[in-house]
Amino acid sequence: MPKKPTEASLRRIEKAARLAASRTYSPYSKFPVGAAVIGGSGRVYSGCNVENASYGLCNCAERTAIFTAVAAGESSVSAVAIYTPTSLPTAPCGACRQVINEFGPEALVISVCDTKNRIETTLSALLPGAFGPGDLA
Ligand code: THU
């Protein structure tokens, strides 16, 4: 089970998510999203949404960040931060909740935006009764 994230590491992923949004490729939705995660090693990984002319292939920022962490050798995440340049914070979509569950069923999920509004919750609150690896055992 991953360690509980420190306040300092949570501030780091918030900052990384804000920076990641600047790398968005979202010419179709024009809705930039940045995300960052703390991997089991304590390292931080970030990602942005990457869209495609074939709309169904768009990848959310959260999944980009988690896939980047896994590709770097991580097998768990303890926290996910999401930034959108909006006045209200954006919660992760259903597909991203399912992907977060795979690697961080107890992860903290923090959404920040351009105002003081924020969401601080957990994956288990966002996806109660999740289907996960244990169901295949
Ligand atoms: N998007 C994310 O990156 N994360 C979410 O959790 C919700 C949606 C992206 C996908 C698409 O590029 C754009 O936001 C509009 O849906």
Q: Mean of the pLDDT values across residues 25-41?
A: 98
Q: Does residue 40 sit within a domain? A: yes
Q: Does residue 111 sit within a domain? A: yes
pLDDT digits (tens, 9 = 90+) for 64-111: 999 999 999 999 999 999 999 999 999 999 999 999 999 999 999 999
Say yes or no: CB of residue 131 within 6 Å of ligand 1.
no
The predicted pLDDT at position 113 comes to 98
- Cα distance between residue 134 and residue 47, in whole Å: 27
Say yes or no: CB of residue 58 within 6 Å of ligand 1.
yes
Q: Does residue 59 sit within a domain? A: yes
What DSSP letter does each residue of 46-114 carry, written as one string?
EEE-B--SSGGG-B-HHHHHHHHHHHTT---EEEEEEE-SSSS--PPPHHHHHHHHHH-TT-EEEEE-S
Q: Does residue 135 sit within a domain? A: no
Q: Does residue 122 sit within a domain? A: yes
Residue ranges making up the domain that contains 13: 7-129
Which residue has tokens 């996960």? 132
Q: How many domains does the chain have?
A: 1
Whether 120 is catalytic: no
Q: How confident is the model at residue 126 (pLDDT cuts 50, 70, 90)?
A: very high
The domain spanning residue 65 has which CATH number?
3.40.140.10
Q: Does residue 16 sit within a domain? A: yes
- Cα distance between residue 55 and residue 131, in whole Å: 26
135 token code pair: 């169901």
The predicted pLDDT at position 3 comes to 77
Say yes or no: CB of residue 86 within 6 Å of ligand 1.
no
* 93 CA distance to ligand 1 middle (Å): 7
Say yes or no: CB of residue 96 within 6 Å of ligand 1.
yes
Alpha-carbon dihedral sign for residues 14, 45, 47, 108: negative
Q: Does residue 137 sit within a domain? A: no
DSSP-derived secondary structure letter, 126: H
* Residue 8 CB burial class (10 angstroms; 0-12, 13-18, ≥19): exposed
- Cα distance between residue 135 and residue 123, in whole Å: 17
Query: What percent of the chain shows pLDDT beyond 90?
Result: 96
**Residue 28 alpha carbon, nearest atom of ligand 1:** 12
Say yes or no: CB of residue 52 within 6 Å of ligand 1.
no
Q: Does residue 2 sit within a domain? A: no
* 50 CA distance to ligand 1 middle (Å): 9
Choose the residue to mutate in 24, 25, 29, 68 for probing ligand 1, maximizing ligand atoms within 8 Å of C-beta: 29
pLDDT score of 2 more than 90: no
